[in-house]
Structure 1
Amino acid sequence: MSRLLWKTVRASTKCHSFNLLAVPEAISGTSTRSIKRWVAPTIRELNKRKIKYADKLPQVHKRSGFIDWNFNAEIYAFGKRLNENFDLVLLERAFVQRSYVVQEELRLEKLGIEKDDLNLQDNRELADKGLKLAKRYVETYLRYHLPQYPDEGIDAIQNYLLSTEKLAHVSQNLGSKEIILAAEYPPSVESLAQTMLAIVGALEESQKDGNLQRPYNFVRDFICTQLNQVDINEVWKIENPFEVLKQVCAHKNIKNIEPRIIGDLSKNYILACCRIGIYDGDTKKLLGTGFGDTYDNGIETASIDALSKIFGSFNLRPFDYTIAPEHLFGSNEKTRQIAN
């Protein structure tokens, strides 16, 4: 029956120029390839040529090198895209890297012009201010959502959010790559991260009334949101988790903790797996469970599971990315007083 059906389909394709690949799988009886056979060899050949002729590829030109580039208009549009009222002088300084200032000074020196005539400041001071404000808010934000988390864990998550790679990722996606004034192009990861902090510092300095609500909301919206869909238990790598669990349990008057085997499968095979549970030796209460291919690995994962339950990071609810700074710093204390 299947042979007769296949012959009928082939005959219909010849008579009516019917595309066989368009026949449904239920009729044709075979699956169709979504990617043609020539795609993979073509991509491999292109990659080989790219590596072979890497030095001969045309140089990437800056967007600012085109005649229709307007730096002042780009600075103004950048602030409006973020829906923030920046001081344009401060925002312009936030994009100036130290390498660009040095480059301009050397250029003027070759032309015989004094350096004092160059009215150009880099963004290092703004970046320092932005870093202080971002650290202050991120630490308060994390302690609000993780009240039982230890200081080491808070510092690890804060360093993760304020790392050079994360800040550079946020900065590039905000559209600062083409606006940055630096000696190198494309700008380095460090330049992107420093520019991001300088933007925060410029927004802080732009608040004439001293109210830091908008800078705090800026950090919340663009930096703290990088924790979305991130397991914070993977961010903080605990060394010797079983020893840490002993110390934490000792502070909670749990003096005797015991790892026990709950299950053991395929012990003498490659796919060995054991399930370890950590119990309170006095009350027989289960503190945490974990799996591993060896007993030591099982004890380690069980200790991490127990610590996450104690620290309140097990099955953690999503962070609130709409919370106002007043709720973080206290409703009776203004955010401008926090900065002081």
Structure 2
Amino acid sequence: MAALWKTCQQCLRYGFSNVSIYTSITAVNVISKRNFKAHWVAPTLRELKRRKVIEDDRNGGPKIFHRSTFLEWNYDAEIFAFSNRLGEKFNDLSLRAALTHKSYIERETARLSDIGVESNLQFQDNEALSQKGGELLSKFINGYLRAVFTQVPEELIRAMHDFLTSNPTLETVARHIGLGDLMLCADFPCKTETYVKSFKAIVAALAESSGEERARIFVQDLVVTQLYGQDVNELWNPVDPVGNLTAILKREGKAEPEFRLIRQAGSNSILGVYYVGLYSDKNFISEGAGESLEVAKEMAAREALKKFFRTEDSMRALPFGRQLKNIQSKIAQLENQPNIPLSEWISEKVMSAVH
């Protein structure tokens, strides 16, 4: 209040001209601006979006364009990058032939004929390479499985082989290495059979270019690794586990399997569980659990077969890469030497075959 009274006295004594009661403000030039779009822009964008949604629904999803439709596409550069990305040395003609399908040659020949141009295409399709690659692929996979799973019967080897050479597995591998953008074929998006045929042809082309040793390692690194995360016991479903176990014990001179109820819970409910132990010559072999005694017996027999074949859940991880360096020669030897079949399987015969 005292300061305000003093200011008022000064104003009355000297006038208002010498006293400034306003804060100085620096002038800034401001130009007002308004973003303007024509009235037709928003409705047009909405209409284009509506048409795109209808087209996607009609085609089952957004339309996919082949990589070759882009302006910067260079097939020669893509072929060079593909071989270097895999770290393999391919013969250029073999690699191009492995990626060229018969349907592509037929389509191009028909297109040139329609416009009146004589077709003299110097293309080689991958039919022969695909057939040869399928044989090499099967041989390499069998050799690896027999060298690693030394105590399993040939039936389980065959089941794992069929899983690794199935169309879904090979298509997954082919997609992951980028074959979809490099294959020359009439169908797009490419079919599963097209991916499989191209991948088999790639294996044959690599064997011709760098030798079977490099092709064998290539298959081990890309195809056999698909067993990771798979329970190999689920790939093979024996019809009669108890009967198979009884036959094995009989061939080894042991007593028939004896099942004993170890414990049970909730037997009077729909969630009952039974634990059954499997014995032979009063020696405990395995145990299994199930919602009934029959199921528990079957599970106990399956667990016993896992122990015999060394495919338990606690089995060692599969070897790859440098771990296989010392046994590559053994893998090559076992490619045409099958394991003992289940009908003849006994521990002594398996151990003698391993050593």
Name the counterpart of 1:168.
Answer: 171
Name the counterpart of 1:32.
Answer: none
Name the counterpart of 1:34.
Answer: none
CA 334–146 in structure 1, closer or farther in 2 if over 3 Å, else same: closer
The CA deviation string for residues 271-290 of structure 1, in whole angstroms up to 9 with x for no partner, is 1100112211xx21122211
The CA deviation string for residues 213-250 of structure 1, in whole angstroms up to 9 with x for no partner, is 21111111111111223221122222221122222222
CA 334–144 in structure 1, closer or farther in 2 if over 3 Å, else same: closer
> How far is 1:311 from its partner?
0.8
Q: Residue 216 of structure 2 aligns to a residue in which SS?
A: helix
CA 243–114 in structure 1, closer or farther in 2 if over 3 Å, else same: farther
The CA deviation string for residues 47-94 of structure 1, in whole angstroms up to 9 with x for no partner, is xx9799511665321111122211111111100101111011111111
Q: Distance in 1 between matches of 2:90 and 2:73?
A: 21
CA 199–304 in structure 1, closer or farther in 2 if over 3 Å, else same: same
CA 324–265 in structure 1, closer or farther in 2 if over 3 Å, else same: closer
CA 106–152 in structure 1, closer or farther in 2 if over 3 Å, else same: same
Q: Distance in 2 between matches of 1:190 and 1:97?
A: 11
CA 82–53 in structure 1, closer or farther in 2 if over 3 Å, else same: closer
Q: Residue 278 of structure 2 aligns to a residue in which SS?
A: strand
The CA deviation string for residues 255-306 of structure 1, in whole angstroms up to 9 with x for no partner, is 41122211111111011100112211xx211222111101111112111111
> How far is 1:182 from its partner?
1.5
1:125 maps onto 2:144 in alignment = no
Identity of aligned pairs, percent?
Answer: 31
RMSD of Structure 2 on Structure 1 (CA): 2.5
Of 193, 200, 218, the residue aligned with 2:203 is: 200
Name the counterpart of 1:75.
Answer: 79
Q: Distance in 2 between matches of 1:113 and 1:85?
A: 36
Q: Distance in 2 between matches of 1:112 and 1:244?
A: 68
Of 103, 125, 129, the residue aligned with 1:99 is: 103
Name the counterpart of 1:30.
Answer: none
Contact 2:56–2:62 (Cα < 8 Å) also in 1:
no
> How far is 1:193 from its partner?
1.7
Q: Residue 60 of structure 1 aligns to a residue in which SS?
A: coil
The letter for the 2-side match of 1:311 is F
Name the counterpart of 1:321.
Answer: 320
Contact 1:217–1:324 (Cα < 8 Å) also in 2:
no
Matches for 1:1-340 after TM superposition, within 5 Å? 54-55=57-58, 59-114=63-118, 117-207=120-210, 211-280=211-280, 283-314=281-312, 315-322=314-321, 323-324=323-324, 327-330=327-330
Name the counterpart of 2:345.
Answer: none
Q: Distance in 1 between matches of 2:166 and 2:328?
A: 23
Contact 2:143–2:333 (Cα < 8 Å) also in 1:
no
Q: Distance in 1 between matches of 2:148 and 2:195?
A: 29
Contact 2:288–2:300 (Cα < 8 Å) also in 1:
yes
Q: Residue 276 of structure 2 aligns to a residue in which SS?
A: strand
Give the number of the structure with larger relative contact order, counting CA–CA contacts within 8 Å between residues 6 or more apart.
Answer: 2
Name the counterpart of 2:344.
Answer: none
Name the counterpart of 1:14.
Answer: none
The letter for the 2-side match of 1:236 is W
The letter for the 1-side match of 2:175 is Q
> How far is 1:113 from its partner?
4.3
Q: Which segment is superposed worse, 242-251 or 66-75?
A: 242-251
Contact 1:130–1:200 (Cα < 8 Å) also in 2:
yes
TM-score where L is the length of structure 1: 0.76
Q: Distance in 1 between matches of 2:62 and 2:286?
A: 58
Q: Distance in 2 between matches of 1:112 and 1:253?
A: 80
Give the unaligned 5+ runs of structure 1.
Answer: 1-48
Give the unaligned 5+ runs of structure 2.
Answer: 1-51, 338-355
Q: Which segment is superposed worse, 306-315 or 240-249?
A: 240-249
Q: Distance in 2 between matches of 1:255 and 1:194?
A: 51
